[in-house]
Structure 1
Amino acid sequence: MARGYEVRDALVIARMALHQAIERAGPVNGQRGCPRPMGFPNGNWPGYRDDKLPSALNFPSCVSEEQPQLGLYPIVDRAVWLQQLLPLGVTTIQLRIKDLHGDALSDEIAEAVRIARDHHCRLFINDYWQLAVEHQAYGVHLGQEDLESADLKAIAAAGLRLGVSNHCHYELARGLALRPSYIAVGPTYATQTKDMPWVPHGLDGLQYWTEALADFPLVAIAGIKDHNIGQVSATGVSGVAMITAITDADDPESVTRDLMARMANGVHASHG
């Protein structure tokens, strides 16, 4: 708390630090010695349990030998975007609709599911988990505020993947207890798309998350543009979510190709 973390975040970080210090306890006279705190913790995540949330549902993985990374992850508001972007090689996309209801919403999701299947693309439906289950979408993406109202057991039973938004240690501990398919980490940079109270992580913060959860698919989101996507990709994230950089572009197809190339160059540079 003295470092400015909100109380729930501070408690999670303190527990991580304590367990890390115990694990690294040094020997004293041949016996296991005192706990050894070694700086800010990056492991020993607590198995947070919220009585309102079913734990350890173990949603299916969203990566495989054929598709080991989520890659460029556009977030769009209409199925027609899938027709434009998927032929370019986009393998993960999210449909986030805010202005349709009833049959129009259902029809739009159904069309997006059809297009995604034709291109073997991982389509995540934002928020509308009932329609995602009904139309047998690949997956659902939920914000933290939606976790309590969504029927997570029904989503898991239908075989859908689950992506969860995360902004801090407390939310991550909460999300990890569900064993989702991926976690979106943000905000990476400041963004005008959505009002967020959290301080942007930046590259150092994003690197912290990828190292702390090296075996878990992470998606970087918020404020990412063409000039920094290579650096973001080089941190080791599985995917990079993009909204306005693509949807507001004069030539979305050309921009998408350029972003995918910059991501690939960033990964190659980090390995080099």
Structure 2
Amino acid sequence: MSTDNERVLFKYRDAQDHQLVVNSAPDGGNIRFYADNLAFDGDHVNVWLPCKEARYFLDAIARRESFEYADSMGDRLVMEAPAEDWTVFTFTRAVRDDEEGGEESVRVVVLSARIPELQGAVLSLLDEADGKPSWLALAEREEMEALAATLASNEKRASDVARHVNERLAELEITPLQRATSDGQGDFIPAILLHGVPDEGLFEVHAGFDEETNGVSLLSAAPDDPELRETGVLFSDCSAAEARRRILLAHRQGPAPLPPAPAPLPPHVEAIVTALDEINGTLQNMYRYGIGQS
């Protein structure tokens, strides 16, 4: 547990009731990771991470790579390479010479939306060790926490949208090749209904979300342009049979055509527009420097 000389800067509890706490060590030279299995008689592990290793830890998160460290007592922190939705941390307490029994281990799964908050906590402790003013370290930590809150909000929105799309597909008795989901960073990923078959002139079809109607829309992409575009077809108010017909139609017709590019201006009109822009710029400069004002 933490002492009076330790400040808790990050605290997280996963779905398995495994908790991770990050705080400063009393000597200020290490960062303390405390992992606790909150079940009755559960394991708990302390790992003391020196500032130098903490920088490697942050670099590994940024590069989405794994990280491993063992402290002077042999207690280990192992971070698996961050996945899209979560990052897995395993803390293991080495057996002491005067103890019986085996190693203790706690595995904590931290959602991606909370990782920026963890990074901010570690970074603020490093800043303090480097002599950075406490108010500046606090401002940076608050910025990271605000980012984490935004990511969490965006991720909840994306997850809610994905659930809505999947539920509507289930109501229509349509089993997608890949269910709608979120990427763990707040972006919605449409469901895949059909793959394209370019040789047969058939387009891929995805089930997306229409913000205006809160309904499910069909998306498609041309073989020479992988970007998904609206087909103009909605699932908001149709039967299962009509939904199947609309998917088949999108499979054959693909995305809605792009609007035509605006025609270029005639040369004399373009010259007038250019002259007016120059006059406007001159007037703005005159106003800025007080020229012509009484």
What is the TM-score with the length of structure 2 in the denominator? 0.22
What is the TM-score with the length of structure 1 in the denominator? 0.24
| Larger relative contact order (CA 8 Å, sep ≥ 6) | 1
